């Protein structure tokens, strides 16, 4: 596949295809619920029975595993459902991002993006495009699928991130329907709205900006082990089979547009994670078979993992978790003095506090005060059992903050399998 020119997104596959009927808000009927006519798609895109949905997803799943050594079965499931969801973008309220990230090169992220590129709806490929080029390429009625390789180069340094701040804002805005960008254009300086809503896959080394990761299904790649075997990808030889799957996805899903508009599947997660994963879970429900079991399982485990990653990387979240552990370690007393709390935090040799900011004294009362200030938690003079007085914290000060920012995970409720269908042998 020929690389696109820098700063210019390649044209979508179906630039001449008729637009879908405009859909302002999913759940409300459009003027027509019929999918667009596909006169030039050939026999592969003739309508297929809905019962073939599970097999089409299985075939796509097999193709992904054929070329890429994925880190988990859940990740394969997530990519499969994300690709399928691109073929019903007009039905979704949110356009989930797919963040394909790796700790270093040669982990298969670009190869996975190759497979995704050949199977998504109306691909729009770029390496280093400007925000203006991207939003001028987005059709509001029939959004393309934006594909960005080497995304880390746009945000890896402060200077690069500043230069590409508009692109980051565009990617964030495009996650939700009805967030256009405004530009002044023409000799009359008219204000013009440009659509931003479109699903997007971004591949890069290292994590992408937090605001993008928070809106993404995150696929963490790893270098292939010697025992893991995959087939090398050759454009001329391998794309016809991938294109055939793409057309089967289109033929299966486009007639289900009206049904997808009305769907609100029960979600195993909440808030933005639910917004991001809902199209994938909806596609799984449309497919049936064991996909309605696989999708929530993948959603729950992958979201839980990313929550753990965030807590580990976010110092304030880590502090809240460690303070809760400090209270629990001595029986959840009503009060802890500042001295007791700091001793507990700095005693954890695996934590960041003993060498906080390079100090041999570790976390200090001043540091603790500054870290807790955004939550409205402050140390005050307290009277402790026995009559002693000291500055410290009450456990009740943290209860609301713990519940909001680092709730303890409860037991996960397993979704009931469809009647008569066995559970899959492995989590996927």
Measure the CA–CA gap between 135 and 138, rounded to whole angstroms. Answer: 5
Model's pTM, two decimal places?
Answer: 0.69
CA 164 to each of CA 98, 122, 146, 423: distance values in angstroms, whole numbers, following the listed order: 19, 24, 16, 46
Q: CA angle, corner 5, sides to 241 and 195, nearest 5?
A: 80
Measuring CA to CA, how many Å separate 8 from each of 12, 194, 200, 336, 384? 12, 17, 16, 59, 66
* Calpha distance 303→391 (Å, rounded): 38
Tens-of-pLDDT digits for all 428 residues of the chain?
Answer: 444 444 445 555 554 443 333 433 444 443 433 344 343 444 444 667 878 999 999 999 999 999 999 999 999 999 999 999 999 999 999 999 999 999 888 899 999 999 999 999 999 988 777 778 887 888 878 999 999 998 888 887 777 888 888 888 889 999 999 888 888 877 878 888 888 999 999 999 988 888 999 999 999 998 888 889 999 999 999 999 999 999 999 999 999 999 999 999 999 999 999 999 999 999 999 999 999 999 999 999 999 888 766 654 468 888 999 999 999 998 999 999 999 999 999 998 878 898 887 777 889 999 999 999 888 999 999 999 888 999 999 999 999 999 888 887 655 445 444 444 443 444 44
Q: Give the torsion sign (CA, 203, 207, 211, 215).
A: positive
Q: Could you write out the three-class secondary structure of 25-45?
A: CCCCCCCCCCCCCCCCCCHHH
Select from 138, 237, 233, 228 the least CA-distant residue to 179: 138
Give the DSSP letter string of 152-190. Answer: HHHHSSHHHHHHTHHHHHHHHHTTBTT--EEEEETTTTE
Closest C-alpha among 417, 343, 302 to residue 71: 302
């Amino acid at each position: 596949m020929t690389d696109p020119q820098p700063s210019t997104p390649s044209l979508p596959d179906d630039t001449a295809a008729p637009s879908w009927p405009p859909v302002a808000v999913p759940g409300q009927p459009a003027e027509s619920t019929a999918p667009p006519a596909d006169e030039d798609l050939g026999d592969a895109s003739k309508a297929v029975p809905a019962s073939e949905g599970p097999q089409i997803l299985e075939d796509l799943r097999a193709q992904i595993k054929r070329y890429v050594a994925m880190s988990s079965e859940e990740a394969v499931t997530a990519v499969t459902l994300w690709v399928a969801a691109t073929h019903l973008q007009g039905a979704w309220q949110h356009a989930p991002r797919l963040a394909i990230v790796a700790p270093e090169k040669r982990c298969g992220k670009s190869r996975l993006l190759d497979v995704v590129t050949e199977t998504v709806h109306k691909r729009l490929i770029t390496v280093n495009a400007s925000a203006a080029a991207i939003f001028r390429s987005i059709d509001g009625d029939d959004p393309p699928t934006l594909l960005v390789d080497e995304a880390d180069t746009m945000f890896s340094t402060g200077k690069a991130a500043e230069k590409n701040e508009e692109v980051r804002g565009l990617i964030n805005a495009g996650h939700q329907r009805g967030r256009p960008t405004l530009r002044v254009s023409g000799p009359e300086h008219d204000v013009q709205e440009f659509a931003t809503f479109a699903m997007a896959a971004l591949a890069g080394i290292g994590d992408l900006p937090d605001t993008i990761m928070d809106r993404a299904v995150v696929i963490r790649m790893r270098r292939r082990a010697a025992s893991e075997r995959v087939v090398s990808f050759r454009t001329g030889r391998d794309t016809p089979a991938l294109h055939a799957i793409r057309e089967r996805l289109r033929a299966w899903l486009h007639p289900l547009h009206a049904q997808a508009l009305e769907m609100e599947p029960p979600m195993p997660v909440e808030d933005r994670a639910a917004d991001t994963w809902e199209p994938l879970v909806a596609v799984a429900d449309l497919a049936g078979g064991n996909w309605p079991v696989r999708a929530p399982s993948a959603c729950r485990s992958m979201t839980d993992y990313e929550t753990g990653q965030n807590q580990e990387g976010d110092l304030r979240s880590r502090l809240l978790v460690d303070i809760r552990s400090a209270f629990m370690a001595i029986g959840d007393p009503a009060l802890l003095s500042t001295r007791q709390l700091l001793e507990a935090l700095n005693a954890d040799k695996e934590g960041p506090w003993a060498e906080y900011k390079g100090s041999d004294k570790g976390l200090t009362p001043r540091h603790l005060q500054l870290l807790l200030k955004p939550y409205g938690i402050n140390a005050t003079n307290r009277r402790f059992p026995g009559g002693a007085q000291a500055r410290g914290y009450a456990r009740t000060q943290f209860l609301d903050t713990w519940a909001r920012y680092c709730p303890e995970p409860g037991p996960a409720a397993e979704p009931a399998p469809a009647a008569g269908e066995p559970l899959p042998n492995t989590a996927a």
